Amino acid sequence: MDIFGRLSDYDVFAYLPQGFFVLAAFDFFFGTSFVIHASWDVPTGVFVLFLSYAAGHLVAGPASRILEAGIVHNMLKPPSVHLLSPEQRASWLLRSLLPAYFSPLSRPTRACVQAALAKAGTGLHGDEAYWVAYTVAKRDDQAKPRLENFLNVYGFCRNLSFIAAVTAELLLVQALVAPRLDTFGSAAHEVMVAAGFALISFQLFKRYLKFYRLYSIEVFVVFAAVEADAT
């Protein structure tokens, strides 16, 4: 049975690579050898692949709850809210850190989307309007590959951003409690490595927001086009 051939693109993008990073971090902190200094035969390699896939799933849950549901949906608000807003709705600090995320759709595009929503018989806005548009856009054969690509990439960036953030936190705690002098030479160097992982996490988070926003734009634009063609 071709088990790995049955994996979807999202499995490959959002679970397997992240699982390898989790196992590598586990090797570093606990002295195992799943990835670092590993010597695989075929059965061990297959086992590590399965373990990576499982670890990727375990990471995806908290990454979705903390980054997507917690930070994005509760604090920043989802892209659909900002795309249909006539002006940017965020503090100066957030707009400085994430300038593109809070930008609305252009006025003509926004007008087309709102006209399509009115035609569909709904006056909803923001995330509620997104789900109305999504039910239409997901059935469009031309849009489906683009939506899948955006989903794959934003899932990859979100989960990897979460892993990098957790790694930074663990390195910082270790530097303060029991620094790895054999690896870093000093606690200060370990703190610098932790800061590097934190920066990587933030950059990946920005990439996640970029592709999450592009996914939402695709949904709204396709929805407006489908509704316009139906007239």
DSSP per residue over 14-64, as a string? HTHHHHHHHHHHHHHHH---SSTT----HHHHHHHHHHHHHHHHHHHHHHI
Angle between helices 187-229 and 107-119 (to 10 degrees): 60
**pLDDT (tens digit, 9 = 90+) per residue, 53-85?**
999 999 999 999 999 999 999 999 999 999 998
Q: Give the 3-state secondary structure percentages of the chain, helix then strand then coil, rounded to 5.
A: 75, 0, 25
Closest to 157 measured CA to CA, from 208, 105, 221, 88: 208
At 185, the pLDDT band (50, 70, 90 cuts) reads confident
CA dihedral 154, 156, 162, 164 (to 10 degrees): -130
- Of the two residues 118 and 230, the one the predictor is more confident about is 118
Give this prediction's pTM: 0.89
**pLDDT (tens digit, 9 = 90+) per residue, 83-133?**
998 877 788 899 899 989 999 999 999 999 999 988 877 667 778 889 999
Give CA–CA dist 219/137, Å, rounded: 5
At 147, the pLDDT band (50, 70, 90 cuts) reads very high
Whether 2 shows a pLDDT value over 80: the answer reads: no
118 touches 99 (CB < 8 A): no
Give CA–CA dist 62/203, Å, rounded: 19
At 34, the pLDDT band (50, 70, 90 cuts) reads confident
